[in-house]
Amino acid sequence: MGHSREPVRIVVAEPPSRRGADSLGTPEALRRIGRGVRIEVAHDAASALELARNRADLVVLDRALGADADRVLAALRRRGPPVVIVTEEATADVALETFTAGAADCVTAGEDYAEVLPGVALEQIRGWRAKTARREVRQRIRSLERLHAAIVDQFPAALAVLEGDGGILTVNPEFERAFPAGSFEGRPLADVLPEDLIESADLRDLLARARSGAERAPRIARTGEAGRVRAFDARAERLDAEGRLLLVLADVTERERLARHVRDLRRYLENVIQNMYSGLVVVDEAGRVAVSNPMAEQILGEPRGTLRGRALADWFGAAAARDGCIGRTLREGARVRGAEGVVTRADGRTVPVAISCAPLLDADGTQLGAVVIFPDVSELVQLQTQVLHAEKMASLGRLAAGVAHEINNPMGFVHANLAQMEEYLEDVAKLLEAARQGPERFEAVSREIDAAALLDDFGQAIRESQEGSERIRHIVQDLRAFAHRDDGEWVEADLNRCLDSTAHIVWTMMKHTVVLQKEYGPLPPVRCHPKQLEQVFMNLLVNAYQAIEARASRDRDTGRIQLRTEVVDDGVRITVADDGIGIPPEIADRIFEPFFTTKEVGEGTGLGLSTSFEIVRRHGGSIRALPREGGGTVFEVFLPKDGGSRA
């Protein structure tokens, strides 16, 4: 058999009786063909057919199987390997019967059986292998033809095969769709392609260079009028020695449009980045700068073009650390917006910034780094401080009348006591003069002015005056502390004390109208700007008082304000509830907007709640207003314990 790619497989189908003395020696005879032969023996039709259909090259069928032999012949007659019949009857009728039934040959089990069978088998195997190879080649050719037709027909480019003289031999469907011209065969290319397309890319030269084998770089050919121009990538390739050419025209109109769009977007994005008022850097996974804009260099105080490759931690400190906002973005993909931070420049100057971070992802969603935007908010911080102080002073102005009344009460009896003590001093002077005149005179004057009662009244007047002055001193201290500008430092503060101190100040203006209830739970120290939070508490208390006043003027009744503090989750909650007039549902979503107010002109700035909202947000917390059951409003303020470390 020579060297074949697969071993020869022969199926021997014979009855079980051939195992003993009646054996014809069929397997042994077949093994004489060569070592590469694999022989498998079956004793019935079913197993013989199963083996034969598993890529067998030959079936040697013992006629002694009877009906099973007939079934095997019938099954393999049209689709299967050749069948050689082995018979012990050497008659012409038997041979004719086997050939008629579909056998390829018939061998008589005689004296020369062991020599004849291998030769017959080898001949049939070679014929079957040749037939199989031809069939596989035909199938492969048909498959390649179908593949070629599918590729040509579905290829997203116009294809034309040109004869050596330039006439069109054939075109694909895409060519017909792109350049409809009816019949194409035999026509010159110039008859079916627009002249401007041929001239724009000098297709004649391209074809000539392809025919001669010279270098033939692709060219762009265009056709059409302004606004409706179509562009094609034109290429040519020589196909054979007769000079036939393949012309490929790929429509790249959309690709060019998209490329222009991408270029425009890049220019637009570059202009935005280069001219934006905020600093912008793109960092890799290690936090090192890959891209930056001029404003980033200006804010960081670095020369132009020197940021690339440097670590953001050089300037951002805690924000670029593992638990900082930039670190969390790089580590967890977290998005951060407007976190407070500080940039420390090489010259030692610190610049307040608002840091926004977002992960930088590729098309598969894999994080490549982060985009960090940080505007310089120095002016904004100054403006916020001024607005906060202005709102604070406005609140103090609203308290002025109540404070004046609160001071006037102790001042009134201090003034009266001073007048009384002036009279007491005159009596004391008389008593001292009498003492110099002698005991008798001293006793007489002492009885006259009732010295014991005088001294008792004098001491009482001094004590009352001291209490009044101490009351005035406390009021003034509270007002001065509240009006004092915030020093901008984050400290750990007792919010119960801050709330109570603020309530003590506001109480002077509301004590005749409001019942104040306090439920202060034990709170942990909270990192914050205490003065800013006192401003929030002041605004909420004043709003609650005004809501009660509005209802009281209508219902002629007093109101109630409830203050409550408690620990929740990782922070604290401060609740200010009132039974005032309430917030109409139609404006509930607008109460925290700057300059929004329902008060008459001159009665409010509209900045109180918006300022409070912004202060709480900068502390990493939240504030919301809820309707109170039974009427009124509940303001809830949540503040995280570590509010000052969120930048």
What span, in angstroms and rounded, lies between the C-alpha atoms of 40 and 31?
Answer: 11
- Does residue 458 belong to any structural domain of this protein? yes
Tokens of 524: 């942990």
DSSP secondary structure letters along 66-80:
THHHHHHHHHHSSSS
My answer on whether 499 and 615 are in the same domain is yes
Highest mean pLDDT among 19-28, 317-326, 359-368: 359-368
Return the higher-pLDDT residue of 385 and 129. 129
**pLDDT more than 70, % of the chain:** 83
Q: How many domains does the chain have?
A: 5
pLDDT at 601: 40
- Does residue 265 belong to any structural domain of this protein? no
pLDDT at 327: 84
My answer on whether 336 and 388 are in the same domain is no
What span, in angstroms and rounded, lies between the C-alpha atoms of 89 and 66?
Answer: 13
Tokens of 352: 């307040």
- CA distance readout (Å), 485 to 355, 490, 500, 609, 639: 25, 14, 19, 19, 22
Identify which of 573, 598, 499 has the alpha carbon closest to the alpha carbon of residue 539: 499
- Does residue 3 belong to any structural domain of this protein? no
Coil, strand or helix: which one is 326? helix
Contacts of 406 (CB under 8 A, 6+ apart): 475, 508
End-of-domain residue from the set 376, 409, 438: 376
- CA distance readout (Å), 631 to 582, 597, 599: 6, 20, 20
Q: What CATH number is given to the structural domain containing 189?
A: 3.30.450.20
Q: Which of 368-382, 388-402, 406-420, 570-584 has the lowest mean pLDDT?
A: 388-402
Inter-residue contact 217 to 191 (CB < 8 Å): no
My answer on whether 85 and 138 are in the same domain is yes
- CA distance readout (Å), 568 to 363, 412, 565, 633, 637: 41, 47, 10, 21, 11
My answer on whether 365 and 449 are in the same domain is no
End-of-domain residue from the set 95, 112, 146: 146
What span, in angstroms and rounded, lies between the C-alpha atoms of 538 and 531?
Answer: 10
Q: Which of 35-39, 66-70, 256-260, 414-418 has the lowest mean pLDDT?
A: 414-418
DSSP 65: G
Provide the pairing of β-strand 367-374 with 350-361: antiparallel
Return the higher-pLDDT residue of 642 and 120. 120
- Does residue 263 belong to any structural domain of this protein? no
Q: What CATH number is given to the structural domain containing 104?
A: 3.40.50.2300
Inter-residue contact 315 to 334 (CB < 8 Å): no
Return the higher-pLDDT residue of 487 and 584. 584
Mean pLDDT across the stretch 410-414?
62
Could you read off the pLDDT of 254-300 as tens digits, one per residue?
Answer: 888 888 888 888 888 777 777 777 888 898 988 899 888 888 888 88
Q: Is the pTM of this model over 0.75?
A: no
Identify which of 346, 477, 351 has the alpha carbon closest to the alpha carbon of residue 403: 477
Could you read off the pLDDT of 494-547 as tens digits, one per residue?
Answer: 999 989 988 887 887 777 788 899 999 999 999 988 888 888 898 899 888 888
Contacts of 414 (CB under 8 A, 6+ apart): 464, 465, 468, 469
My answer on whether 367 and 400 are in the same domain is no
My answer on whether 236 and 354 are in the same domain is no
Within 10 angstroms of residue 258's Cβ, the number of other Cβ atoms is 11
Inter-residue contact 251 to 228 (CB < 8 Å): no
Reported for 359-364, long-range contacts at CB under 8 A and 24+ positions apart, including other chains, are 359/329, 359/330, 359/333, 359/334, 359/335, 360/282
Q: How buried is 280 (Cβ within 10 angstroms: 0-12 exposed, 13-18 middle, 19+ buried)?
A: buried
- Does residue 262 belong to any structural domain of this protein? no
My answer on whether 92 and 180 are in the same domain is no
Element (H, E) at 624: strand 622-627
Cα 51 → chain centroid: 60
Q: Which residue has the tokens 């609203």?
A: 398
pLDDT at 150: 59
Could you read off the pLDDT of 553-566 as tens digits, one per residue?
Answer: 666 577 899 999 99
Could you read off the pLDDT of 139-177 as tens digits, one per residue?
Answer: 787 766 566 565 666 678 888 898 888 788 888 888 888
Q: What CATH number is given to the structural domain containing 506?
A: 3.30.565.10
**How does the average pLDDT of the chain come out, rounded?**
81
My answer on whether 238 and 311 are in the same domain is no
Identify which of 646, 645, 495 has the alpha carbon closest to the alpha carbon of residue 568: 495
Q: Which of 58-62, 64-68, 394-398, 613-617 has the lowest mean pLDDT?
A: 394-398
Amino acid at 601: V
My answer on whether 358 and 457 are in the same domain is no
- Does residue 269 belong to any structural domain of this protein? no
Tokens of 331: 């580590």
Structural domain that includes position 212: 155-256
